[in-house]
Chains A and B, each alone.
Chain A
């Protein structure tokens, strides 16, 4: 049953020799970069109490879990704000790595070739689980010792190691969950989807539990993550519980795996549609169909983000009081309320994030091209402008919807937490002024896809540049012109500035020009593949 597990395990490491380091370095870097930033921003106990106050609201608790608010040291802050979300990412990593070696290989017919050799029936699944577990142990150790070497007062050796171990334990637990989920579906899409759905379900279960009903949190592995009370209570039982969960699920997954045929699932795939619905039967319909899932989840994610940003508006004054560094990040003079000064910065962040999906909508056309699927359309009575227009239309509409959702999300939270809330129309206006800038980025994407799709990485760097310069510009004392190099830098900062129509018109006009250039280019170039 297990023959050649060791050889397979080594082989898998070899295949993942680039992928694993990227995950490990990324996660460790992310875990180690935050505490020093906190340490620098919140130097006095007063400041820390202020942020604890701000973070103590149901929306934040639902998002990041419960923390030790009475003793909000840098360590407690890190564990409260970072641990759960990082654990979710580690869980996601485990799911993706497991799936890569089990279902993706199976679907591609590679497992079949291995299975024809003297390889045990459970060797692949065991080797994958061992490898993913080792990766998680590595992350646990690197993060654990890494945090300790940061030399932050409230982050002792035990707490630091526990922090790492909780992350690793979560990874092992979800590697196990993935092995079980994977057995039920006939394809890797269903396998990944169901595993991530489990992760999401455990997250929601914990969110409800943390806000309302403690017992529910105890049923979720992600609930245990926060119950470890890293840096304050330092409970070790969650680590043990997570690892046991992982191993139990893995054994169950192995048992199920031995019962199913290679390439099939325990659940029979339900037959799909024999005929296409009318919505699908156009280039536009197809483009929507291909992207609807990602469009939906981005919208959901942004809405939740807007809600959580909105929820901090209740205690803003206390939050900024006496913290010079934070005040420096604000844009207005002191005549306005803190909320009004804080709003444009938050909206800028949200609008730049909301620009990502529309850009992806346009770039999707190039993915379709690379996969040789655009030629199916072009070899039929469909013109190039028609195809490009489908994707650009989706992008522009999606952007409009995302900004609207962000405004509504912010307003819903703000109207609950603030005594004297900003009006929906102010918020909507303050958000929508970013739409022309977003269109400009979509226009640039159209040009890149229309002329030289290989350059699309440059656009993402440009967006990243805009984010860094505008978000941290005041803090780092960057000159204003660096912000003006991005369309977002020209957007009037409502409500602290008057709405000025001219820059918005210029940006819109430029966007239109870019669209035209993109369409002309796309009519002329060769389609790859």
Chain B
């Protein structure tokens, strides 16, 4: 069952087209990763989903309701954390958390205190004295102490330290275990890899790829480093090898997933002393998209 359903969403500001065509679905109990470079349209999409700005055309529904006309109804069951949290300088963090809780519905005291504890936030301080990370914690505490069914998180960890990032990941895991849904926008790719069931990649206002990480493996390569008794020059003739290079006897190359078996067989008799492989990262996936794009552009020229 889909919680968020977006079809051919378009948004332009004057003559500037921010979203060309966005299609995406977030299912119940799923963590959906929404990734893309800065300015690709992540935040515009999210602000449209929240009914803060109005789509130029296309459909967007949350819980089966229209995001513009039924915004208030939807928001009772949703929690949102913006990427850049701006707060009122003369209110304390505690006051803001209570305000946010009350505006959504009600305040769950024990849950709130638990979250303040877990994110180690000092709620007595005025918001003007908070760092970016601390302001983000205020928004996260407010979100995670709510009893929402859908969490929309727009680059929520960009100001957090690694320790807090871990707490954040635990919190996401917990709400996922409760069967709730999450739309997580990010460009911290390791985080998306760890948390997300499915991923949508957005670029210049368009979703260019959606699917599970597994389904996207065809786009990714394994980074390998090998040290061997014999020279690996011949490796370049093996299919699925890219960017073969030798520095001080260390050979590095990238391998396509589907050719892995052949490559290992080729390496086996060469007296391998050291073999390191890094799993495919979403970074590569990005790179590949850009490579493809440039190649296509070049061939068009």
Contact = CB atoms under 8 A, between A and B. Distances in A.
Nearest to B128: A187
A269 B104 CA distance: 31
Contacts of B99: 276, 280-281, 286
Nearest to B105: A381
Interface stretch (B83-91, B229-237, B242-250, B257-265): B83-91
B75 A381 contact: yes
Size range of the interface on B? Answer: 35 or more
Contacts of B90: 189, 290
A271 B124 contact: yes
Interface in A61-105: none
Interface stretch (A144-152, A224-232, A372-380, A405-413): A372-380
Given A272-B95, A373-B87, A383-B71, A189 B52 contact: no
B89 A527 contact: no
A163 to B, nearest CB: 39
A276 B98 contact: yes
A377 B50 contact: no
Nearest to A384: B71
Given A273-B95, A282-B102, A382-B72, 11 more contacts: A269-B126, A273-B92, A274-B124, A275-B95, A275-B98, A276-B98, A280-B95, A290-B88, A376-B100, A380-B104, A381-B75
B95 A526 contact: no
B133 interface: no
B94 A274 contact: yes
A379 B72 contact: no
B123 interface: yes
Interface string B79-121: 0101010111111101110111011110000000000000000
Given A377-B103, A379-B75, A527 B95 contact: no
A521 to B, nearest CB: 12
Nearest to B146: A380
Given A275-B98, A372-B86, A383-B71, A378 B54 contact: no
Interface in A249-286: 269, 271-276, 280-283, 286
B20 interface: no
A15 interface: no
B125 interface: yes
8 contacts: A107-B128, A186-B129, A271-B124, A274-B94, A379-B152, A381-B103, A525-B54, A527-B53
Contacts of A375: 47, 50, 52, 82
A282 B100 CA distance: 9
Interface centre among A371, A379, A382, A527 (most CB of B within 10 A): A379
B241 to A, nearest CB: 47
Nearest to A369: B52
A14 interface: no
B173 to A, nearest CB: 23
Given A269-B129, A282-B102, A371-B86, A378 B50 contact: yes
B240 interface: no
Interface of B: 13, 47, 50-54, 71-73, 75-76, 78, 80, 82, 84, 86-92, 94-96, 98-100, 102-105, 123-126, 128-129, 152
A272 B92 contact: yes
A523 to B, nearest CB: 10
Nearest to B46: A379
B130 to A, nearest CB: 11
Closest 10 CB pairs of A and B: A271-B124, A272-B92, A276-B98, A526-B53, A281-B102, A276-B95, A379-B80, A380-B103, A274-B94, A372-B86
B72 A383 contact: yes
A526 B100 CA distance: 22
Contacts of A281: 98-99, 102-103
Nearest to B54: A526
Interface in A509-529: 524-527, 529
A380 B75 contact: yes
Nearest to B125: A272
Interface residues of A, number: 35
A289 interface: yes
Contact of A274 (B53, B72, B86, B123): B123
A280 B124 CA distance: 16
A191 to B, nearest CB: 12
Contacts of B152: 379
Contact of A189 (B54, B104, B128): B128
B89 to A, nearest CB: 7
A373 B87 CA distance: 6
B94 A275 contact: yes
Interface in A344-401: 371-373, 375-383
A330 B152 CA distance: 64
Contacts of A274: 92, 94, 123-124
B14 to A, nearest CB: 11
Nearest to B103: A380
Nearest to B97: A276
Interface in A274-332: 274-276, 280-283, 286, 289-290
A164 B102 CA distance: 55
A373 B94 CA distance: 16
A118 B129 CA distance: 27
Contact of B89 (A189, A282, A377, A381): A189
Nearest to B109: A275
B95 A382 contact: no
B86 A527 contact: no
A436 to B, nearest CB: 33
Nearest to B131: A109
Contacts of A381: 72-73, 75-76, 103-105
B251 to A, nearest CB: 43
Contacts of B125: 269, 271-272
Nearest to A186: B129
A432 B124 CA distance: 44
Contact of B124 (A272, A276, A380, A526): A272
A376 B92 CA distance: 15
A383 B73 CA distance: 9
Nearest to A370: B86
Given A373-B88, A380-B104, A524 B54 contact: yes
Contacts of B52: 375, 378-379, 526-527, 529
Contacts of B50: 375, 378-379
A281 B91 CA distance: 12
B39 to A, nearest CB: 16
B217 to A, nearest CB: 35
Contacts of B80: 379-380
Contact of B126 (A272, A276, A378, A382): A272
Contacts of B53: 526-527
A282 B86 CA distance: 18
Could you say which of B52, B76, B92, B104 has the most chain A C-beta atoms within 10 Å of its C-beta?
B52
B80 to A, nearest CB: 4
A280 B129 contact: no
A526 B54 CA distance: 6
A279 to B, nearest CB: 11
